[in-house]
Structure 1
Amino acid sequence: MRVEIWSDIACPWCYIGKARFEKGLAGFAHRDEVEVVHRSFELDPGRAKGDTEQVIDMLAQKYGRTPEEARGMEANVAANAQAEGLGYRTEGRDHGNTFDIHRLLHFAKARGRQDELLSLAYRANFAEERSVFDDSVLADLGVEAGLDAEEVRAVLADPEAYADDVRADEREAAEFGANAVPFFVLDRRYGISGGQPSEVFAQALEQAWKDREVSALVPLGEDGVVCDTDGACEVPGSGAQV
C-alpha cells in the first residue's frame, strides 16, 4: 500500500502531522508493506527566492495582529508540537519560498533519502536556529541526510533541476481538490486532510488495507488542522489561525 503526503516545510501542521502519522503507522500490522511518498505543495509560491522575514512579523502583518498576539498563536502551535515530542521555537524562525527545498527533496527521493532529508529540514526549520531558506544550510542538510555534497550543490545551483517534479506534484494536488496541507492519500483511494490524531491515521490505514476495491477518492474522518494556500494555519479549539 502506498501513502502519499502533500506537505510544505513551512507548514507547522505538516511537521506535527508527520509525527502523528508515523505514530499511527508504527502500530499498523502491515507497516512493512506501506510505502510512504512525500509530495510537494507550496504555501507561498509567489514569494521570491531570498525574500525572507521572521515568522512573528509575517503573522502580525498578514492577519493584522499585534506581535504579542502573533506570539500567542505560535505558542498554541508549539504546545501541539511539544505534545508529540517535537521541538518548536516560537521566536527567530524565518519564513520564505520553499521551492528549492522541494526540488532537493525530489532529488533525495531519487537517491532513496527523501524521508531522512524531510525530517532534518523540519527539525532545522521548527526546532533549531537554522534557516532552511539558505542554500548553504540546505546543502549541509542534504549531506546530513546521506546525499553526495557535490550532487546536492549541483541541484541547488540549477533552478530547473527537479522543478518539473515539484510542479507535477502541485498539479496533482489541485486535481485532488487539495488546497491545504498536510493532505494524505492512501492507495489513491482514501483522502485525509490535516494533522489528525495518530488514532485517526491508524484507523484509516486499517480501513484502506481491508477495502482495496474502491475506485474513487474517499475522505476519511473530519478535516483536521491544516495550513492553506493563503498561508493560514489553524489553531485547534481556538477558532484562530496563524
Structure 2
Amino acid sequence: MRVEIWSDIACPWCYVGKARFDKALAAFPHRDRVEVVHRSFELDPDRPKGEVEPVLTMLTRKYGMSEEQARAGEDGLGAQAAAEGLAYRTRGRDHGNTFDLHRLLHLAKEHGRQDELLALLYRANFAEERSLFTGGDERLVALAVEAGLDAGAARAVLADPDAYADAVRADEREAARLGANGVPFFVLDRTYGVSGTQPVGVFAQALARAWEERPSPEPVGRAGAEACGPDGCAVPRH
C-alpha cells in the first residue's frame, strides 16, 4: 500500500501531522508493506529566494493579527508539538522560500533517504536556532549528508535551479488535480484522503480502511482540522 503525503517544510501542522501519522503507522500491523512517499507543496511559491522574514512578522502581516496574538498562536503550536514529543522554537524562527528544500527531497527520494531528510529539515526549521533560510547552501548540504546523501550530489542540485524543478511542479499539479488546497494532505492508495493534522486514531482508521480496499472513496477525519493553505498557516488565538 502506498501513502502519499503532500507537505511543506514551512508548515507547522505538517510537522505535527507527520509525527502523528508516524505513530499510527508504527502501530499498524502491515506497516512493513506500506510505502510512504512525500510530495511537494509550496505554501509561498511566489516568495523570491533570499527574501526572509521572521515568522512572527509574517503572521502579523498575513493575518492582520497583533504581535501578542501571533506570539500566543506560536505558543499554542509549541504545546501541540510538545505533546507529540517534538521540539518547537516559538520565538526567533524565520520564514522563506522552500523550493530548494523540495528539490533536495526529490534527490533524497531517488536514494531512498527522503524520510530521513524530511525529518532533519523539519527539525532544523522548527527546533534549531540556526535558520534554514539564512545559512546558505552549505547548511542544506550538511543536512543532506546527515540524511545519508552525497555532499557533491546535494551541491550540484542546489547549484542547478532546474534540477528536480519539474518533479516539484508535477507534485504540485497533482495536488491541485486531487483537490488539495492545503497541507498536510494524505492520500492512501488513491482511495482515501485525509486532510489536515488529524489525531493518531484517525490516521490508524484510515490505514485500516485503505488496507481493506473499500471500493468507494470516503473522506476520513473531522472537518476543519488544522492545516496550512495558500494564504499561510492558521495559528491558535488565545
* Same topology, TM > 0.5: yes
The alpha carbon displacement at 1:64 in A equals 1.9
For residues 104-132 of structure 1, give each alpha carbon's deviation from its aligned partner in whole angstroms, at most 9, with x where no partner exists.
00000001100000000000000111222
Q: Is the 8 A contact 1:89 1:127 kept in 2?
A: yes
For residues 25-70 of structure 1, give each alpha carbon's deviation from its aligned partner in whole angstroms, at most 9, with x where no partner exists.
1111000000000000000001000000000111112222222221
Residue 68 of structure 1 corresponds to which residue in structure 2?
68
1: CA distance between counterparts of 2:20 and 2:169?
27
SS at match of 2:232: coil
2: CA distance between counterparts of 1:143 and 1:233?
33
For residues 168-226 of structure 1, give each alpha carbon's deviation from its aligned partner in whole angstroms, at most 9, with x where no partner exists.
00000000110100000000110000010111100110111112544xx4321223210
2: CA distance between counterparts of 1:123 and 1:199?
24
Q: Is the 8 A contact 1:11 1:233 kept in 2?
A: no
Moved more, 226-235 or 148-157: 226-235
2: CA distance between counterparts of 1:130 and 1:202?
35
Q: Is the 8 A contact 2:12 2:233 kept in 1?
A: no
Consecutive unaligned residues in structure 2, runs of 5 or more: none
Residue 188 of structure 2 corresponds to which residue in structure 1?
186
2: CA distance between counterparts of 1:41 and 1:19?
18
SS at match of 1:202: helix
* Aligned-partner residue type, residue 154 of structure 2: V
1: CA distance between counterparts of 2:70 and 2:235?
13
SS at match of 1:219: coil
Q: Which structure 2 residues correspond to residues 1-242 of structure 1 after superposition, within 5 A?
A: 1-133=1-133, 134-214=136-216, 217-223=217-223, 224-235=225-236
Give the superposed CA RMSD.
1.2
Consecutive unaligned residues in structure 1, runs of 5 or more: none
TM-score by length of 1: 0.94
Q: Is the 8 A contact 2:117 2:144 kept in 1?
A: yes
The alpha carbon displacement at 1:234 in A equals 4.4
Aligned length: 235
2: CA distance between counterparts of 1:185 and 1:95?
27
